[in-house]
Copies of this chain bind each other. A is one copy, B any other.
Amino acid sequence: MDKTLQGYIDKLNSLNFKDMYEGDFFLTWEKSDDEIEALFTVADALRYMRENNISTKIFESGLGISIFRDNSTRTRFSFASACNLLGLEVQDLDEKKSQIAHGETVRETANMISFMADVIGIRDDMYIGKGNKYQHDVVDAVTEGYKDGVLEQKPTLVNLQCDIDHPTQCLADMLHIIHEFGGVENLKGKKVAMTWAYSPSYGKPLSVPQGVAGLFTRFGMDVVLAHPEGYDIMPEVEEVAKANAEKNGGSFTKTNSMEEAFKDADIVYPKSWAPFAAMEKRTDLYGKGDFDGIDKLEQELLAQNAKHKDWCCTEEMMAKTKDGKALYLHCLPADINNVSCEDGEVADTVFDRYRVPLYKQASFKPYIIAAMIVLAKCKNPQETLKKLEERGTVRRFQ
């Protein structure tokens, strides 16, 4: 592809993504291959424009609302960066400062905050069976509000992480891989090891391994999911991964051996997560308000984790990968041996060696989010990009 704006526009002209207009982004596997490719193309185009000091401000005013039900640094800043790049001002719905506990419904709150909202970004990954549902409830509410004439626009939803998928992360990961391997056409037959790794902390979300299983299997790669017994991900997502592999000519396999997964791998993504069954149980316990039960479960899980300290991305493990030089991925922050903990997900020397590519991996997220917004808000993004170039407003005036 020609690395000029016209190159990106030409690429977009060859793709069908018209259903993304006025749409939302929940799960990657709800999007067609063309739609995913359009997203990568717009993300690259926006980055190209920023690097060439061309303003991509498509909004003169408008709000991008964020709802974070968990602490966050990088996702918060990625969302803020994406909104800012397009001209939207971020307004955070801080539930502690709000009156929501006052007996208000999701439907009501969603409308009340959306009178001038073009985007709503939500991170809600803590409870299995809840996060994605909450995002749908919000979208249903604002869709109805728009139809009823309450809202002047339907804000588009950006899933900033739910219990099922972490699309902004996994799409950024994949765009990073595409750039590292010199194009999507070079990914066929590459081996990816999405593996569990030990962490001294408890209850990490499943959305990254699930998102990787659901997305990476679309590119003809051999995706291996590895974890100790009992650390399964959602079965529905495994089904998605299998179907993807079948359709796209790669494979999706499972193993309980980290070594097996790492052997000759081109890409490794070792990362801790909690067992799906345990997370379901925790959701039930919260529902019942059984806090003693939750404490007990936490202790059990930490003890269970501790049996698998050998699941660590050490130098020895990296040596098993293709030429000992697999691309190491992590969504950050990682649990690094001797840095953030005694035993963790990765050896400090491995992490240090991959620091620059890891940071580059993260750098795609703001553009992925911005591309989701552009595709939902511009009827003809090719024309919009062209007009932005012609408008020629500089981002940074000299």
Contact = CB atoms under 8 A, between A and B. Distances in A.
B340 A104 contact: yes
A337 to B, nearest CB: 11
Contacts of A81: 63, 115-116
B89 A332 contact: no
A362 interface: yes
Interface in A331-346: 332-333, 335-336, 339-341
Interface string A380-394: 100110011000011
Nearest to A114: B77
Nearest to A393: B60
A112 B362 contact: yes
B84 A395 contact: no
A148 B358 CA distance: 11
A58 interface: yes
Interface in A348-398: 356, 359-360, 362-363, 365-366, 377-380, 383-384, 387-388, 393-398
A129 B215 CA distance: 48
A74 interface: yes
A115 B363 contact: yes
Interface stretch (A95-103, A187-195, A267-275): A95-103
A61 B55 contact: yes
B97 A145 contact: no
Contact of A72 (B72, B76, B99): B99
B102 A340 contact: yes
A216 B121 CA distance: 39
Interface of A: 50-51, 55-63, 68, 71-74, 76-78, 80-81, 84-87, 89-91, 93, 97-100, 102-105, 108-109, 111-113, 115-116, 118, 145, 148-153, 201, 332-333, 335-336, 339-341, 356, 359-360, 362-363, 365-366, 377-380, 383-384, 387-388, 393-398
24 contacts: A50-B152, A55-B61, A58-B396, A60-B393, A60-B395, A60-B397, A61-B86, A62-B84, A63-B84, A71-B97, A73-B93, A73-B99, A73-B109, A74-B113, A77-B91, A77-B115, A80-B89, A81-B115, A84-B89, A89-B90, A103-B333, A104-B332, A112-B332, A379-B398
A397 B341 contact: no
Contacts of A89: 80, 84, 89-90
Contacts of A387: 397
A84 B84 CA distance: 13
B98 A73 contact: yes
Contacts of A396: 58-60, 62, 118, 153, 377
Given A377-B396, A398-B378, A116 B72 contact: no
Contacts of A118: 396
Contact of A60 (B57, B99, B383): B57
Given A72-B97, A84-B116, A153-B396, 7 more contacts: A72-B99, A89-B90, A103-B340, A104-B332, A104-B340, A151-B363, A380-B398
